[in-house]
Structure 1
Amino acid sequence: MDQKRSQTKSIPQNEKLNPTVYIIFISLLLDLLAFTMILPLLPSLLEHYRLNDTTGLYKWLLSQIQYFQELVGAPEQYSSVLFGGFLGSMFSFLQFIASPILGGISDVIGRKIVMVFCLVGIASSYVLWALSNNLTIFIFARFIGGLSKANVSLSMAIISDVSSVKTRSVGMALVGIAFSLGFIIGPLIGAIFAVWAKSKTGEWFVVPAIFAFCLSFFDLIFFIYFFKETLPQEKRAKSVWKSLHNAKALIDLRDLFQFRAITDAKSSDITQLRKLGTVYFIYLFIYSGLEFTLTFLTHHTFKYNSMQQGWMFFGIGIIMAVIQGSYVRKIPPHKIKSTAIIGLWLIVPSFVCVGLASWSWTLYLGLILFAVSTALVVPCMMTMASLYGTAHQKGTVMGIFRSLGALARALGPIFASIAFWGLGSTVTYLTGAIGLLWPVLLLQK
């Protein structure tokens, strides 16, 4: 309750944050807790399928990953990390496909029915996980989960529906806080299950899978009961067929970066969206790749074990949550762009420090700058994106941005891994830092 009062104080007295924003915050938090708890379990899950998979899929995928590992020169002990990276890239690529399409459909038939569809799909993926006695079923479960993850872009579209220019940044900051808390608490829950799993045999993963399903099922019931439709009939796009017909413009890379699915906006707005989309993609492409290789670097240079890396990401999450909860939500509309630029500038020295780190204090300085930058950039850029497009195309706009981010997260780790093991950590991080000058200079223009 105190947090809600403090949220309201950051908004002018004649502007109150719509209660729907808090419903979305709770829904996202429940979803992210279930989603992130699997991360610490992946090594144990992959070991389980290595020993018990009877379909031959594990051996085939491992042979492909080992070929990539030998190609880039990665040590053998990182096979499981690369395997996890493959699953993550697949998940992100499916988001890339699903987010803009479902966002466009929600512009026509409303947010609630599409969001419920996504939440049902997410819950179903955890049921399949609980039943996954072989790797084929487990990957199919992740496939269903990836296609259903349009709920994040839909959440941002809903916040755009119910927010004014002055309150939108607060809503986007709450989305950032949900992500920060989810990536702090969820992996801790998963770590507890990982420790418990070491003493178990057989299909031990059923218990954490059921726990994740319970979280997602509660999220589904909570959303159905409390959420009221935010896109009234008179503001919706008129044709479902037209939205489906625009699928090519939502998936084809040339059309996607040109925002051709946005048909009812001024030409100047389309130009700004294209620039902002390019900035967002380049930033997340480099950022996600270097973030993925951070575990390689800390183990290779500082001999961090999994627990130390867990505490490292826990600290990053805490800093992000504090900044987003205390500062980002209070940013006035006219300072959103300048704050995003500051965040983009901070990520450059962050990766320079990490790339050159040979002492712990240099690494810690880089990680602190990394956390501060991350807390600022994405919420501010999503707030900027939400200003464009008519009411019946907000879902499409946010879906395209979510899709661009998912594509960047699918490709970034692949290229960064090749660079890390082929060129070395210092060259990779310094090149990445220089590359990140491009989006910040482009946004400043």
Structure 2
Amino acid sequence: MRPAVSFILITVMLDSMGIGLIVPVMPDLIQEIQGSDLGTAALWGGILSTTFAVMQFLFGPVIGGLSDRFGRRPVLLISLVVMALDYLVMAVAGSIALLMLGRIVGGITAATQSTANAYMADISRPEDRAANFGLVGAAFGLGFVLGPLLGGLLAEFGTRAPFYAAAALAALNAVFGYVVLRETVTDDIRRPFRWKRANPLGSFRQLGRLPGLGPLLIVFFLYQLAFMVYPAVWAYFGKERFGWEPATIGLSLALFGIMLAIVQGGLIRWVLRLLGERGTVVYGHLIDVAAFLAIAFVTSGTIALILTPIAALAAVITPALQGIMSKAVGPDAQGELQGALTSVTALAMILSPMMMTSAFAAFTDTNAAVYMPGAPFVLSAGLIVVGLVVFVAYPPRKTAPVEG
């Protein structure tokens, strides 16, 4: 594998790890800073997580647009340096305000996944993009597994240790990227940076004008909204339905993350060859509907653990959709497209937890007319069905590049 591709995959993995790395210590850290009880710490933890997602939503198109103008290399390297400094600030933070500032800056720098995907689009042939986007997804899944695991181990050295580790990893990767990363944005595809397009609404509006791309953005959003059911309610669902302890919940999430990496890093290439990009999207939706409904109604914890990695087989949807959409825009708009997709994902991260936890609370309340801890997964299955209907009803068409 080329060193530059390795750098891109490590960058995405660090984006994913950086979130999970600090999760194990956040309750204790917030209590340490605030001197509050666990309930208040959880409330502040939710606020910090939402702030992080909001920043990704707002700045995904900005970072993507900047990379279309100034190049992928400077945007990625500067973001990594700022990310390292941000973790150092959070490591010494003595107030909730400073932690909030850290999550604001962290959300902005983590939006570089759009630039990483744009780089992969730059160096890939159109027919290879979906598979290579799968490598990016695999790196994210690997970080999803390693982050909490490493964070839990480092927590033995204190609540600040994971932040120092995250800072060191980001700094080392910046040095690696400085050595191996070449620029892919040439003067032929470079375009001016415009604020009216470097915001989520402007970016969605511009891209939505391309025939067939608007419905694909809707499908992508619905899938992300449904997928977020796992981080939103899985821990609560496992405890309520099966009486799982934290260790079992962690194991189930690790199984899911490992299978996610296997599917997006390798299996997707076989599925794409067999079904094509469009058929892969349909297959992924059908698997997801079956998996969500099975999880919703299963009563055995053992069967649920078996279903967890099987559910990850649907993870081919994201890279296949990215591949289809990437072909619909010109080489000068890859950063803008990936920035818009980052914002769509972040918007789902903002909205889905509220939807899923509300459904869980409503159907597990002592006064609920129907007791159904799996209700959020039924809701997710419904969202996937709607997405599949939209995808089938509005087949993607070859489009002209976005105008500058």
Normalised by the length of structure 2, the TM-score is 0.88
Is 1:327–2:267 an aligned residue pair?
Answer: yes
Aligned-residue sequence identity (percent) comes to 24
Gaps of 5+ in 1: 5-17, 52-58, 63-76, 198-203
Is 1:36–2:27 an aligned residue pair?
Answer: no
Is 1:353–2:278 an aligned residue pair?
Answer: no
Cα gap change, 1:33 to 1:290, in 2 (>3 Å): closer
Q: CA RMSD in A?
A: 2.3
SS in structure 1 at match of 2:374: helix
Residue of structure 2 equivalent to 1:429: 377
**Are the counterparts in 1 of residues 15 and 110 from structure 2 also a CA contact under 8 Å?**
no
Note the C-alpha offset of 1:334: 6.7
Residue of structure 2 equivalent to 1:121: 82
Note the C-alpha offset of 1:367: 1.6
Deviations 1:219-274 (A, max 9, x none): 1111122111001012111x23xx12324xx333xx55xx33349xxx6xx13211
Query: Which among 272, 276, 281 is matched to residue 340 of structure 1?
Result: 281
**Are the counterparts in 2 of residues 100 and 396 from structure 1 also a CA contact under 8 Å?**
yes
Query: Which among 239, 247, 260 is matched to residue 205 of structure 2?
Result: 260
Take 2:269 and 2:83, find their aligned partners in 1: how far apart are those partners? 29
Query: Which among 240, 245, 250 is matched to residue 196 of structure 2?
Result: 245
**Are the counterparts in 1 of residues 285 and 388 from structure 2 also a CA contact under 8 Å?**
yes
Is 1:409–2:379 an aligned residue pair?
Answer: no
Is 1:396–2:345 an aligned residue pair?
Answer: no
Take 2:257 and 2:352, find their aligned partners in 1: how far apart are those partners? 21
Take 2:60 and 2:168, find their aligned partners in 1: how far apart are those partners? 24
Runs of 4 or more, structure 1, over 4 Å off, are: 77-83
Residue of structure 1 equivalent to 2:10: 26
Is 1:371–2:325 an aligned residue pair?
Answer: no
Is 1:443–2:391 an aligned residue pair?
Answer: yes
Gaps of 5+ in 2: 365-372, 394-404
Take 1:81 and 1:271, find their aligned partners in 2: how far apart are those partners? 44
Normalised by the length of structure 1, the TM-score is 0.80
Letter paired with 1:139: M
SS in structure 1 at match of 2:148: helix
Residue of structure 2 equivalent to 1:226: 180
Take 1:441 and 1:362, find their aligned partners in 2: how far apart are those partners? 30
Take 2:345 and 2:179, find their aligned partners in 1: how far apart are those partners? 30
Note the C-alpha offset of 1:113: 1.7
Residue of structure 1 equivalent to 2:253: 313
Take 1:291 and 1:326, find their aligned partners in 2: how far apart are those partners? 24
Take 1:343 and 1:363, find their aligned partners in 2: how far apart are those partners? 19
Note the C-alpha offset of 1:78: 6.9
Query: Which among 179, 185, 206 is matched to residue 160 of structure 2?
Result: 206
SS in structure 2 at match of 1:245: coil
**Are the counterparts in 2 of residues 349 and 366 from structure 1 also a CA contact under 8 Å?**
no
**Are the counterparts in 2 of residues 105 and 244 from structure 1 also a CA contact under 8 Å?**
no
Take 1:338 and 1:78, find their aligned partners in 2: how far apart are those partners? 46
Letter paired with 1:260: R
Cα gap change, 1:212 to 1:19, in 2 (>3 Å): closer
Note the C-alpha offset of 1:379: 1.9
Deviations 1:408-442 (A, max 9, x none): 11111012112211233233322332232000121
Take 1:190 and 1:317, find their aligned partners in 2: how far apart are those partners? 16
Residue of structure 1 equivalent to 2:358: 418
Residue of structure 1 equivalent to 2:69: 108
